[in-house]
């Protein structure tokens, strides 16, 4: 009993002392706590994550400070009260990585663990795909001094008639090497091939003029045909890895696990030195009206700048079937302005004077087709014995759509004694390369035997 009493007296003394002295009330204690999980997880692709916190009895001058040491945490934002936003980069390493986020408020320290999943091949790309098929041609040294391999990496392939199958994606790659095939199997030689914007056809390059990415809809119609701007293709003994950026800035990472494949040998389909061309090739051999089959058409061509010195730009665009078989039209025309991004909408009529809004008539000279032509393709080559017609009259109209594609409507005539109408319509992307700064206009695009993007 004496113990409790003593404590009681002491309490009374303390109470009496408090009553005799005036003291300022003690400030309430500040409490800083993390209200979200103490571990913040991120996918390998990176991105943003949020840490939330609460403050009880905040001070007038207190601020929340955040710090982290690792460089792969690219940003920490503290502007919003009650939350911290953390931004991390893509993890390209094939192992998990961690960091510690340290938060401090008025001397109170809290930590949050940041954990990012291991990376994987292709992480961070807009499209990561595994091709199930590779098909294409080996053209030998027909188009340059070095062996030429022309392939498609795809998930659905082509049908028996050579048409792209529905609901698929296709990467068309026109590449050059110093290595010729050996043995019965023709494969793309091992090495690294880099996209060449000058289309020089040099060894270990990808020629952008005949390389593209496109998809097909449920009917096999071409969608989203896009040129390739940059990137590489790496070929090893057991794998092909395509890592490219298209003209819209989208990135693609495509792999193909090499199986038992062989490209078709197209080296014997034509002799570039001694083509058997009818001396009368410059005259139309049409005998009736032609309604163009544009179903599988794609486009490729060039913008030459003010080639004729008339103050307007010159375009030459070829429309051709992706199957490599069928009708092909080449239009060599002067547009309404200068610049590769010119809106080409309008009606074009035939003229030899290179005026604005006109197309050049077609003619043939020493193995070259020049100007605007109708030709037929067989297995990716011009069929010298097939239908042909220089386009010397009529008109075509281009109309630009809101999505950047164009509608093309053609009513063209050949140079037959009784002119034949060649007509048709098409909608798609005008795919052309800007060579206006090139030192000279290349003649390869004028050749009768010009290769097109086909299998």
Strands 264-265, 133-140: pairing kind? parallel
Residue 233 in tokens: 């293709």
Residue 127 in tokens: 């499209």
pLDDT at 34: 95
Mean pLDDT, all residues of the chain: 84
What percentage of the chain reaches a pLDDT higher than 70? 87
pLDDT (mean) for 236-242: 93
pLDDT per residue over 366-381, tens digit each?
567 789 999 998 887 7
Cα–Cα nearest to 387, from 329, 451, 318, 455 = 329
pLDDT confidence band for 21 (50 / 70 / 90): low
pLDDT (mean) for 436-447: 37
Residue 368 in tokens: 């070259």
Q: Greater confidence, 346 or 309?
A: 346
Q: Greater confidence, 276 or 185?
A: 185
pLDDT at 450: 29
pLDDT of 440 > 90? The answer is: no
pTM for the model stands at 0.49
pLDDT at 22: 58
pLDDT (mean) for 158-170: 84
pLDDT (mean) for 28-40: 94
pLDDT at 19: 52
pLDDT (mean) for 341-346: 95
Phi/psi of residue 9, nearest 5 degrees: -65, -45
Q: Tell me how long the chain is.
A: 455
The residue behind tokens 């890895």 is 241
pLDDT at 217: 86
CA distance 122 to 58: 47
pLDDT at 452: 29
The set of residues, in sequence order, having a beta carbon less than 8 Å from that of 83 and lying 6+ positions away, is 50, 51, 52, 53
pLDDT confidence band for 272 (50 / 70 / 90): very low
The per-residue DSSP string of 381-408 comes to: EE-TTS-EEE--EEEEEEEE-TTS-EEE
pLDDT of 444 > 90? The answer is: no
Q: Would you put residue 68 in left (φ > 0), alpha (ψ -120 to 50) or beta?
A: beta
Task: Evaluate the CA torsion angle 430, 432, 434, 436 in order and state its sign.
Answer: negative
pLDDT of 6 > 90? The answer is: no
pLDDT per residue over 66-112, tens digit each?
999 999 999 999 988 999 999 998 887 878 999 999 999 999 999 99
pLDDT per residue over 401-432, tens digit each?
999 999 999 999 999 999 999 999 999 999 88
CATH number of 31-116: 2.60.40.10
Phi/psi of residue 95, nearest 5 degrees: -155, 150
Task: Evaluate the CA torsion angle 389, 391, 392, 394 in order and state its sign.
Answer: positive
CA atoms within 13 A on the CB side of 115: 9
Task: Evaluate the CA torsion angle 28, 29, 30, 36 in order and state its sign.
Answer: negative
Cα–Cα nearest to 199, from 448, 445, 455 = 445
Integer angstrom CA distances of residue 279 from 64, 97, 264, 330, 446: 85, 71, 31, 21, 17
Q: Hey, which of 162-176, 410-424, 433-447 has the most confident mean pLDDT?
A: 410-424
pLDDT per residue over 284-334, tens digit each?
999 999 999 998 899 988 898 988 889 999 999 999 988 888 999 999 999
DSSP 68: -
- Looking at the chain, the domain(s) classified CATH 2.60.40.10 span 31-116
The set of residues, in sequence order, having a beta carbon less than 8 Å from that of 225 and lying 6+ positions away, is 212, 213, 214, 298, 299, 428, 429, 431
pLDDT at 439: 37
């Amino acid at each position: 009993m004496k113990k409790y009493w003593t404590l009681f007296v002491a309490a009374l003394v303390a109470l009496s002392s408090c009553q005799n002295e005036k003291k300022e009330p003690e400030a309430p204690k500040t409490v800083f706590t993390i209200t979200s999980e103490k571990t913040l997880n991120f996918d390998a692709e990176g991105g943003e994550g949020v840490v939330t916190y609460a403050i009880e009895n905040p001070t007038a001058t207190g601020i929340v400070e955040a710090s982290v040491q690792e460089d792969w945490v690219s940003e920490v934002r503290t502007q919003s009260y009650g939350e911290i936003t953390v931004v991390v980069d893509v993890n390209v390493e094939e192992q998990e990585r961690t960091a510690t986020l340290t938060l401090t408020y008025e001397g109170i320290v809290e930590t949050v663990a940041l954990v990012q999943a291991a990376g994987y091949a292709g992480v961070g790309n807009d499209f990561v795909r595994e091709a199930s098929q590779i098909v294409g041609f080996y053209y030998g040294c027909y188009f340059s001094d070095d062996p030429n391999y022309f392939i498609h990496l795809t998930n659905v392939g082509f049908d028996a008639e050579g048409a792209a199958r529905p609901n698929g994606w296709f990467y068309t790659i026109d590449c050059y090497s110093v290595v010729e095939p050996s043995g019965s199997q023709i494969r793309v030689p091992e090495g690294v091939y880099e996209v060449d914007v000058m289309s020089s056809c040099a060894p270990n390059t990808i020629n952008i003029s005949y390389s593209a990415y496109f998809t097909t809809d449920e009917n096999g119609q071409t969608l989203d045909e896009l040129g390739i701007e940059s990137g590489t293709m790496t070929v090893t003994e057991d794998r092909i890895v395509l890592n490219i950026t298209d003209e819209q800035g989208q990135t693609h990472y495509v792999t193909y696990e090499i199986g038992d494949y062989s490209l078709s040998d197209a080296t014997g389909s034509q002799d570039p030195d001694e083509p058997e061309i009818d001396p009368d090739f410059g005259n139309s051999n049409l005998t009736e009206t032609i309604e163009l089959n544009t179903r599988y058409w794609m486009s490729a061509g060039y913008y030459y700048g003010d080639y004729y010195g008339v103050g307007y730009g010159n375009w030459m665009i070829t429309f051709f079937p992706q199957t490599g078989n069928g009708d092909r039209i080449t239009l060599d025309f002067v547009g309404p302005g200068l610049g590769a991004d010119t809106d080409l909408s309008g009606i074009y009529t035939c003229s030899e004077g290179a005026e604005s809004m006109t197309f050049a008539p077609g003619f043939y000279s020493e193995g070259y087709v020049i100007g605007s032509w109708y030709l037929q393709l067989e297995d990716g080559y011009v069929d010298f014995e097939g239908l042909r017609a220089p386009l010397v009259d009529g008109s075509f109209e281009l109309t630009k759509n809101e999505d950047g594609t164009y509608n093309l409507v053609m009513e063209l005539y050949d140079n037959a004694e009784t002119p034949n109408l060649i007509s048709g319509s098409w909608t798609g992307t005008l795919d052309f390369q800007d060579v206006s700064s090139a030192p000279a206009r290349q003649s390869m695009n004028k050749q009768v035997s010009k290769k097109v993007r086909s299998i």
